[in-house]
Structure 1
């Protein structure tokens, strides 16, 4: 069994930081996954609340058994929050931004780690994230596409309380770091200290990473592996106009998996 959930959020009410290409990203990932035999559903804009995203991930992982594949794609804003449990060397937890982040907060990496840990042994889990993970909101001056790009980063000041913002600004001493090992493959649009960008190609909004990843995938043979895919993507990103470095977190065995199977 192959199961997929594609999340795309352009609309962020109360933040003044709407995006343009994320719904198209979700549609494009869904089309690619359906073509590979995945039972695929989408969560777009207001349907992609924090509760709905959590429930969607739990549902897929609850249905999957040994030998099955689960793929989650996320296109939208990324952000960070102050690390509360001392497991982050940079004192920040990276996070995804649901549609209702202004009311109910982000989905942090610690919780994602716990959600994916629900997968039964032998289930192949993959998370593809086209979002920023840290930094501040910026714009590109000379994008590759048809119009200026916007970083997919939501400033923490948008949703943190004044007390949380103060704590985030304080310099603290060394923190402990616990084992963050995960059996989930993570393909991300950028490194933690970089930005993923909205772009536009032939007049159609898309994430720069999603566009490159899917067009690179279409040119690869069916036998290609995640290692091959990353190599093809990095042949086009980072670029002078899109200084984002796609990242792949996977074990040696996972690097040799056939893509999206």
Structure 2
């Protein structure tokens, strides 16, 4: 049985004026944690994380995996959406990740990720951790770690990267945004927020990070949960909060939620 991971972190979005600060740190932090837990980890950071490179790296890991192998994919960067062309989205939108070359090559759709994940062989375990996307409000949780003057949302509006002639109708753009990649496939998805919320790029003790990544790793270290379900519950002790109104999500079967973490 082999354990492999791909950690993607993108701060730099040329041509959009929507750069972030904490995503490369997120990817490095996930990579360090996974390496310590016996994973062989590849990283795609900033300019290396083109759309083609993301597709090739995800597909390469899936195609090379055999029964009993475990694959972890982490993504930190902007989330966005495009009009749904296949008719499988109730809100008329496809959720998407934003590669470094978003402005020239476009987004990586949830449909694309689903197609990649569908190539896995029987018995290959896939977990996707996405620290990106969309907004809402709840008030609770600890905020003592957050630096003043932050956070910033990790959502790339279509008008920031699409050509004017390609923009969807105004009424669709005005609708409630969605995110979370529930159609991506795999065994488990851990997402930074609800479909109607944003994930936040912020700063802790002077160091930029995604709020979900920071608290997920903090909960992992401090609570020492034994399953994904228990890990998720420990994360919810921190999020949402007043300044970070994002509600983490877990998607997967009851059996998958009880998997041992990173096994």
TM-score with structure 1 length normalisation?
0.90
Deviation at 1:133, TM superposition (A): 4.4
**Residue 26 of structure 2 corresponds to which residue in structure 1?**
25
Q: SS of the residue aligned with 2:71?
A: strand
8 Å contact kept, 1:144–1:242: no
Match of 2:196 among 177, 186, 193: 193
Matching of residues 181-260 of structure 1 within 5 Å: 182-221=185-224, 224-260=226-262
- Give how far 1:235 is off: 1.1
Retained in 2: the 8 A contact 1:95–1:106? yes
Q: In the TM superposition, what are the counterparts of 1:54-65 in structure 2 within 5 Å?
A: 54-65=55-66
The within-5 A match list for 1:63-142 is 63-133=64-134
Question: What CA distance in whole angstroms lies between the structure 1 residues aligned with 2:35 and 2:81?
Answer: 32
- Work out the CA distance in 2 between the residues paired with 1:58 and 1:43: 14
Cα deviations by residue, 1:198-252 (Å, 9 ceiling, x for unpaired): 1111110000000000010112336x11110110001110011100000111111
CA distance in 1, matches of 2:184, 2:199: 24
Secondary structure of the residue aligned to 1:248 is strand
For residue 6 of structure 2, what is the aligned residue in structure 1? 5
The 3-state SS of whatever aligns with 1:114 is helix
- Alpha-carbon distance in 2 for matches of 1:87, 1:143: 41
Q: Give the distance between the partners of 1:211 and 1:149, measured in 2 at CA.
A: 13
Change (3 A) 1:59 1:170: closer
State the distance in 2 between where 1:154 and 1:40 align: 27
1:160 aligns with 2:162: yes
Question: What secondary structure sits across from 1:200 in the alignment?
Answer: strand
- DSSP 3-state at the match of 2:202: strand
For 1:210 and 1:230, locate their aligned partners in 2 and report how far apart those are by CA, in whole Å: 12
| Structure 1: distance between partners of 2:115 and 2:238 | 33
CA RMSD of aligned residues (A): 2.0
1:163: Cα distance to partner? Answer: 3.9
Q: Measured at CA, do residues 181 and 70 of structure 1 come closer, stay the same or move farther in structure 2, by a change above 3 Å?
A: closer
Give the whole-Å Cα distance in 2 for the aligned partners of 1:77 and 1:83. Answer: 19
Q: Which structure 2 segments of 5+ residues have no match?
A: 137-142, 174-181
Separation of aligned partners in 2, 1:61 and 1:227: 24
Deviates more, 1:179-188 or 1:63-72: 179-188
